[in-house]
């Protein structure tokens, strides 16, 4: 239980940071969705896909290598900063060079000039301080929290102001530039480290990069190949609907894994030489994340018909079936990612991680190709969900092979939240006809009743399975301790 306690304490700031950012992002999306159109979101979405693809092709993994280096010297830090500068400059060049091609693919001329702005912003970001990465390495997540949340808050205010002024996609483009300038300025104001140009450790970083680049490429394509297909086939409006649906789905599930995952890598790295402790930590992490993402994903899928009109308005109603599918896909993807990313890289199984991610990409492409024949963004979302469902059992087998983790141990972390989620989902579907007609009231009742049913079911299953060690025992123990302290 000490391992779980240390883990939860170590990533608390990271989780708070991600959810604070996502809350700000959700509020921003709700406001922007009423000021802009799906087509505006689609134009920016296509430019961002090009940015992500260029970044994945040139990703050198300098931050990951710096974090996992046991005794990082100043030379390590300076080399990491210098390589980041070079990487971002290269990405900027690729964006500018491909702007006309991307605009032609989407059939939206406006994309070209947007990409020029984003290219310049990307180049600026490359000069940001390496201090935030060092804060993660040293587990000073409160500094990481402050840096990212402050940046997001200021960017939020600026973005809404620009949207009220422009009333089109240029608001989002210039907001990206403002965010780049904020990141550059805050990184030097909040962190005392001052990088200097150096490539002294370049060979060491480059060897690590050769293993990371294929992984980064596959990860990005896994996340965006569906949107890339939709942009080419259906244009900006459908891409805007799909991208916004994907982001909403990710807020409830993928972001949980990402928020905890931000703290996982340095925590895993600290115990990488103790396989028994590393495996025990992984099982507790898997149990913790599954307890969160499974009900969140299922709940969002069931409640999508109420959430979309309430948050985004009637012009986004076509996003409902997309969100229903992608909410489930994001849940499964989060679990598969957890099983095949940080833990395999830290334990020295980078090759297995790369193979697994490319396999997931192959499954996704095959499912999307089948869905294209059926037509529509919702069909593609269903195909993505099918591919994600197949990838989870494959991830279990990879873990069994690489970490010698018995399948029973992995399933032991998943079965209680899975059954409780099924019970909650069945309850929400069965009681839907009895819910009030007012959308806000329906949603409030569904959230409250679903959370209650899920929590009670999990505790009942935990109790009757012998109250094993894990996150449930930790939570119950913490609540008892607080109750005793209050009573005393």
Other Cβ atoms within 10 Å of 397 Cβ, number: 13
User: Mapped to the 3 state alphabet, what secondary structure does 400-462 carry?
Assistant: HHHHCCCHHHHHHCCHHHHHHHHHHHHHHHHHHHHCCCCHHHHHHHHHHHHHHHHHHHHHHHH
Measured between alpha carbons, how far is 386 from 367 in angstroms, rounded to an integer? 7
Question: Is residue 468 assigned to a domain?
Answer: yes
pLDDT of residue 245: 85
Given a contact cutoff of 8 angstroms between Cβ atoms, the answer to whether 155 and 175 are in contact is yes
DSSP assignment of 277-339 equals HHHHHHHHHHHHHHHHHHHHHHHHHHHHHHHHHHHT-GGGGGGHHHHHHHHHHHHHHHHHHHH
Which residues of the chain register pLDDT less than 50? 1-4, 6
- Give the pLDDT score at 37: 86
Q: At what angle do helices 141-166 and 2-35 cross, to 10 degrees?
A: 10
Angle at 214 between CA 292 and CA 362, to 5 degrees: 70
Do 190 and 147 form a contact (C-beta atoms < 8 A)? yes
Distance separating alpha carbons of residues 422 and 418, to the nearest angstrom: 6
Q: Burial code of 313-330, b = ≥16 C-beta within 10 A, e = fewer?
A: eeebebbbbbbbbbbbbb
**For residue 92, with 0-12 CB atoms within 10 Å meaning exposed, 13-18 middle and 19 or more buried, which class applies?**
buried
Q: Confirm if 475 and 292 have CB atoms less than 8 A apart.
A: no
Total number of domains constituting the chain: 1
Residue 112 lies in a domain: yes
Helix (H, G, I), strand (E, B) or coil at 58: helix
Sign of CA dihedral 444, 449, 454, 456: positive
Residue 385: inside a domain = yes
Task: Give the range of the structural domain holding residue 28, as residue numbers without chain letter.
Answer: 2-481
Query: Within a domain: residue 487?
Result: no
- Mapped onto helix, strand or coil, the DSSP state of residue 199 is coil
Q: pLDDT value at position 2?
A: 46
Two tokens, residue 149: 């949340």
**What's the confidence (pLDDT) of residue 478?**
67
Q: What pTM was estimated for this model as a whole?
A: 0.73
Considering the domain boundaries, does residue 253 fall inside one?
Answer: yes
User: For position 480, what pLDDT does the model report?
Assistant: 66
Closest alpha carbon to 386 in 429, 299, 326: 326
- Give the pLDDT score at 13: 61
Is 205 domain-assigned? yes
- Token code pair at residue 81: 């900063």
Q: Are 262 and 136 in contact (CB under 8 A)?
A: yes
Query: Any idea what the Cα angle at residue 406 is, between residues 403 and 412, rounded to 5°?
Result: 115
- CB contact at 8 A, 138 and 270: no
Asked if the structure places residue 371 within a domain, the reply is yes
CB atoms within 10 A of CB 451: 13
Report the pLDDT value the prediction gives residue 400, as an integer from 0 to 100.
82
| Domain assignment of residue 488, yes or no | no
């Amino acid at each position: 239980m000490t391992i779980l306690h240390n883990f939860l304490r170590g990533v608390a700031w990271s989780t708070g940071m991600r959810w604070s950012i996502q809350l700000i992002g959700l509020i921003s999306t709700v406001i922007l969705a009423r000021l802009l159109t799906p087509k505006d979101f689609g134009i920016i979405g296509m430019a961002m896909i090009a940015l992500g693809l260029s970044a994945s092709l040139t990703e050198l993994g300098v931050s990951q290598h710096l974090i996992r280096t046991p005794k990082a010297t100043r030379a390590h830090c300076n080399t990491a900063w210098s390589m980041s500068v070079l990487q971002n400059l290269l990405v900027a060049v690729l964006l500018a060079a491909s702007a006309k091609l991307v605009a032609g693919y989407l059939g939206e001329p406006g994309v070209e000039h947007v990409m020029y702005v984003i290219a310049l912003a990307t180049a600026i970001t490359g000069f940001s301080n390496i201090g935030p990465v060092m804060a993660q390495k040293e587990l000073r997540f409160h500094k990481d929290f402050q840096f990212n949340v402050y940046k997001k808050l200021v960017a939020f205010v600026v973005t809404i102001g620009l949207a009220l002024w422009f009333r089109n996609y240029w608001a989002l483009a210039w907001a990206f530039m403002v965010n780049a300038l904020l990141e550059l300025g805050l990184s030097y104001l909040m962190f005392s480290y001052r990088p200097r140009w150096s490539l002294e450790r370049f060979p060491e970083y480059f060897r690590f990069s050769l293993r990371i680049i294929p992984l980064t490429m596959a990860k990005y394509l896994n996340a965006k190949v569906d949107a890339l297909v939709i942009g080419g086939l259906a244009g900006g409006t459908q891409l805007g609907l799909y991208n916004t649906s994907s982001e909403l789905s990710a807020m409830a599930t993928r972001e949980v894994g990402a928020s905890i995952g931000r703290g996982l890598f340095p925590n895993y790295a600290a115990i990488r030489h103790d396989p028994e402790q590393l495996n025990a930590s992984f099982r507790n992490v898997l149990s913790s994340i599954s307890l969160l993402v499974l009900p969140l994903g299922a709940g969002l899928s069931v409640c999508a018909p109420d959430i979309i009109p309430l948050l985004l308005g009637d012009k986004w109603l076509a996003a409902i079936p997309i969100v229903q599918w992608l909410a489930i896909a994001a849940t499964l993807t989060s679990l598969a990612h957890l099983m095949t990313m940080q833990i395999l890289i830290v334990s020295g199984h980078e090759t297995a991680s790369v193979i697994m991610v490319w396999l997931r990409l192959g499954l996704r492409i095959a499912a999307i190709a089948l869905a294209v024949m059926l037509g529509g963004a919702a069909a593609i979302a269903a195909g993505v969900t099918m591919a994600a469902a197949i990838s989870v059992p494959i991830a279990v087998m990879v873990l069994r092979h690489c970490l010698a983790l018995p399948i029973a141990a992995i399933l032991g972390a998943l079965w209680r939240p899975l059954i409780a989620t099924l019970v909650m989902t069945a309850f929400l579907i069965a009681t839907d006809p009895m819910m009030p007609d007012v959308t806000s009231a329906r949603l409030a009742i569904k959230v409250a009743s679903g959370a209650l049913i899920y929590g009670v079911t999990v505790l009942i299953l935990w109790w009757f399975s012998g109250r094993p060690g894990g996150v449930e025992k930790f939570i119950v123990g913490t609540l008892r301790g607080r109750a005793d302290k209050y009573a005393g």
